[in-house]
Structure 1
Amino acid sequence: MRFLIIIPAHNEEENLPFTLKSLENQNFKDFKVVVVNDGSTDNTSEIIKRFTEKDSRFETINLQKSAHQPGSKVVNAFKNGLNTQNLDEFDIICKFDADIILSENYIEEVEKAFRNNPKYGLVGGLLYVEKNGEWVYEGNSNKHHVRGPMKAYRKECFQEIGGLRETLGWDNIDSILLEDLGWKEVVLRELHVKLIKVKGKDYTVKASDYYGRYFYFLGLKRLLAYIAASKEAMKNKSVSFFFQIVKSYESCRAKKLELKITKDEQKVINNQRWNALKKKWLKM
């Protein structure tokens, strides 16, 4: 199976060399890497050039800088890279971040999983971060969910879900939609992916606004959004945090901001959330 790997990158001169080197060192060789340089003002372009000049599997496209907001920026850059390629030449489509390090057998094992399991639609490893000199499991999501920095989709699955959405929640929307279509999301827990940079530190949106907007753009109806907000408030041990999230969510509703999902997809997402809630809390 042949892989198309697209890497959005903005001012990643410190991290990108590790990512590209780990790809260069892969045991599995049948892949193409497209680095989307999203208006970088540092030496990111020079870093990319080091690899494109010596390895024909690496190429780049350059964009003007887009607004740095969670979700939409990275997906926009990804799509720009995707649109330059002939998808008929590939079997697996990957969206990787520019600040991860992959083990030498990473793509090899992902390819094996796809090849041996026709219903696998999305595959990835587990994300690890460095703390006190050790690499530890990130823990921001359950171990059945492939995190945004290392998504690998079977092409047919990717096309059936309509690709990635330029919105907050894109990396949960994909999982829900592919499951509804009969595909499987699979985490290969033995594959550890090192995340060099902690996500979110360069976002301009504060936490409560982030969650309110996230629940809105995920398409959650009011009751489900409020339940999700109460869960985050309990994690933070703050009643005011609940009301701040709700205020952000209701502000989005009042403005009738455009959702990047259809009505039918919104129904699927809400049904999945209700079913998960019943299973976990109501034991139904």
Structure 2
Amino acid sequence: MRFLIIIPAHNEENNLPFTLDSLQQQSSKDFKVVVVNDGSTDRTAEVIRKYTEADSRFETVSLQKSEHQPGSKVVHAFKNGLQTQAMDEFDIICKFDADIILPENYLSVVETAFATHPEFGLVGGLLYIEKDGNWVYEGNSNKHHVRGPMKAYRKECFIQMGGIRETLGWDNIDSILLDNLGWKEVVLPELHVKLIKVKGADYTIRPADYYGRYFYFLGLNRFLAYIASSKEAVKSKSASFFFDIIRSYENCRSKKLELKITKEEQKAVNDQRLKMLKKKWLKM
């Protein structure tokens, strides 16, 4: 099985070499890497050039600087890289970040998982961050969800679900859509992926605004958005946080901002969220 790996990169001169080195050191060699230089102002382009000149499996695409919006920016870059390739030549489509270090067997283990389980649509490992000199589990998501920095899709699944969406919440929308289509999302806990920097550190959006926009663009109806907002407020131990999230969510609704999912897909998202609510909260 052949891998197509798309890596969006913006000002990653310090981190990108670790990612690309870990790819060159993979035990599985049948892959192509497209690094999308998304308007970098540092030496990212020079870093990329060292690999493209030395290894024919590495290519690059350069974009003009785009507005930094959580979610949509990285998917926009990913799509630009994807458009340069003939998908018929590949079996697995990967979206990797430019600040991860993969274990040497990452691609081979993912390939085996896809080859032996035809129902698998999305596969990935677990993220680890450095803390006090040790690499520890990141813990920002449950261990059954493949995180955004290391997505590997079976091509047929990727095409059937219409690719990934250029919107906040894309890396949860994909999970719901592929599940609705009968595919499985699988985390392989033995694959430890090192995350060099903490996600979200570059975002300037306030947390309440982020959650309000996230719940809106995820396609949640008002009832489920309010439930999700209350959960975040409980976590933060702040009643005002709930109202700030709701204000952001309702602001998006009043402006009727464009969703990147269809009405049918939005229904699938809400049905899945309601199912989770009944299972976890109501024990139904």
TM-score (norm 1): 1.00
Q: How far 1:241 sits from its partner (Å)? A: 0.5
- The residue that corresponds to 2:266 in the other structure is 266
Q: How far 1:154 sits from its partner (Å)? A: 0.2
User: Which whole-Å CA distance do the structure 2 matches of 1:111 and 1:59 have between them?
Assistant: 22
Q: How far 1:85 sits from its partner (Å)? A: 0.2
AA at the equivalent of 2:251: S
User: Which whole-Å CA distance do the structure 2 matches of 1:232 and 1:201 have between them?
Assistant: 19
**For 1:240, what is the secondary structure of its paired residue?**
helix
- The residue that corresponds to 1:169 in the other structure is 169
User: Which whole-Å CA distance do the structure 1 matches of 2:205 and 2:115 have between them?
Assistant: 40
**For 2:278, what is the secondary structure of its paired residue?**
helix
- The residue that corresponds to 1:157 in the other structure is 157
Q: How far 1:106 sits from its partner (Å)? A: 0.5
User: Which whole-Å CA distance do the structure 2 matches of 1:17 and 1:29 have between them?
Assistant: 18
- The residue that corresponds to 1:98 in the other structure is 98
Q: How far 1:90 sits from its partner (Å)? A: 0.1
What pairs with 1:79-94 in structure 2 (closer than 5 Å)? Answer: 79-94=79-94
- The residue that corresponds to 1:257 in the other structure is 257
What do the CA deviations read for 1:232-262 (whole angstroms, capped 9, x no partner)? Answer: 0111011010000000000000000000000
What pairs with 1:101-250 in structure 2 (closer than 5 Å)? Answer: 101-250=101-250
Q: How far 1:281 sits from its partner (Å)? A: 1.1
Identity of aligned residues (%): 78
**For 1:186, what is the secondary structure of its paired residue?**
strand
Q: How far 1:283 sits from its partner (Å)? A: 1.3
What do the CA deviations read for 1:79-102 (whole angstroms, capped 9, x no partner)? Answer: 000000000000000000000000
Q: How far 1:201 sits from its partner (Å)? A: 1.0
> Structure 2: any 5+ residue segments left out of the alignment?
none
**For 1:245, what is the secondary structure of its paired residue?**
helix
Q: How far 1:42 sits from its partner (Å)? A: 0.3
**For 2:198, what is the secondary structure of its paired residue?**
coil
User: Which whole-Å CA distance do the structure 2 matches of 1:81 and 1:8 have between them?
Assistant: 8
- The residue that corresponds to 2:30 in the other structure is 30
User: Which whole-Å CA distance do the structure 2 matches of 1:172 and 1:25 have between them?
Assistant: 30
User: Which whole-Å CA distance do the structure 2 matches of 1:232 and 1:130 have between them?
Assistant: 26
TM-score (norm 2): 1.00
- The residue that corresponds to 2:3 in the other structure is 3
**For 1:93, what is the secondary structure of its paired residue?**
strand
**For 1:26, what is the secondary structure of its paired residue?**
coil
User: Which whole-Å CA distance do the structure 1 matches of 2:18 and 2:201 have between them?
Assistant: 20
Cα RMSD after superposing both structures:
0.4
> Structure 1: any 5+ residue segments left out of the alignment?
none
User: Which whole-Å CA distance do the structure 2 matches of 1:239 and 1:60 have between them?
Assistant: 47
- The residue that corresponds to 2:43 in the other structure is 43
Q: How far 1:78 sits from its partner (Å)? A: 0.1
AA at the equivalent of 2:19: T
**For 1:230, what is the secondary structure of its paired residue?**
helix
User: Which whole-Å CA distance do the structure 1 matches of 2:248 and 2:119 have between them?
Assistant: 38
- The residue that corresponds to 2:71 in the other structure is 71
